[in-house]
Chain A
Amino acid sequence: MKNNLKVLRAERDWSQALLGEKLEVSRQTVNAIEKGRYDPSLPLAFKIARLFERAIEDIFNHEGENNE
């Protein structure tokens, strides 16, 4: 699954560690999600969406699908 978490994070000038703190996960987890190595659970995806005030599908999409 692809996502634009890195872009959203960069827009706010947040580090991976800071985003991890806000989401209550480790920096490594943020890094793995950004790089597409790990797909977050539904509760974590909702948490990310709430934090960035976006719909989940605006942040995550299956490969080949366009978002935004």
Chain B
Amino acid sequence: MAHDKEAEKRYRKVFIPAMGIYVIGVFGISWGEEQSYLSAGAVSALTLIPVLAIFAWMWAQWRFVKELDEYLRQIQTEAMMIGLMIVTAIASGWGLMELMTDVPRIPIFFAGPGFYLVYGIAYTVLAKRAGIKGGC
């Protein structure tokens, strides 16, 4: 359906620059902090850059999912639910162990990429089963 392709195009138009800003922001802040160029206050202020990029990306994803037809939207929603369930279960379980035992600490930063990793894998499996190419 042409509408789905248009939706995907609109999504990529926001996703690609937002992802670029996010990656540059995260690595730039991390590098600046390591080189002692940035104070703690500056790190906190600059963190707004990747956060705003994430908001832009998520807004684009929201719009993309809403523009899909009902079956494709169901697949996207199922994949997101799988990502949410797995990451929440792991984060809750590991978090509890961090509180109660001496397991290594995992930064909460990894929850986001972890969600997108599981969501991406789940979407790939569900889409393949449904005979769909691309569009996560």
Contact = CB atoms under 8 A, between A and B. Distances in A.
A8 interface: no
B72 interface: yes
Contacts of A25: 1, 69-71
From DSSP, what is the main secondary structure of chain B's interface residues?
helix
A27 B1 contact: yes
Contacts of A21: 1-2
Contact of A24 (B69, B74, B132): B69
B120 to A, nearest CB: 19
Interface string A27-41: 111011100011011
Interface string B57-99: 0000000000011111010000000000000000000000000
B70 A29 contact: yes
A67 to B, nearest CB: 22
Contacts of B2: 21
Most A CB within 10 A of own CB, among B4, B71, B132? B71
A32 B130 CA distance: 7
B1 A24 contact: yes
B112 to A, nearest CB: 29
A28 B74 contact: no
B67 to A, nearest CB: 12
Given A31-B131, A32-B130, A38 B71 contact: yes
Interface in B101-136: 130-132
Given A28-B72, A38-B71, 13 more contacts: A25-B1, A25-B69, A25-B70, A26-B4, A26-B68, A26-B72, A27-B1, A28-B131, A29-B71, A31-B131, A32-B130, A37-B130, A44-B70
Interface of A: 20-21, 24-29, 31-33, 37-38, 40-41, 44
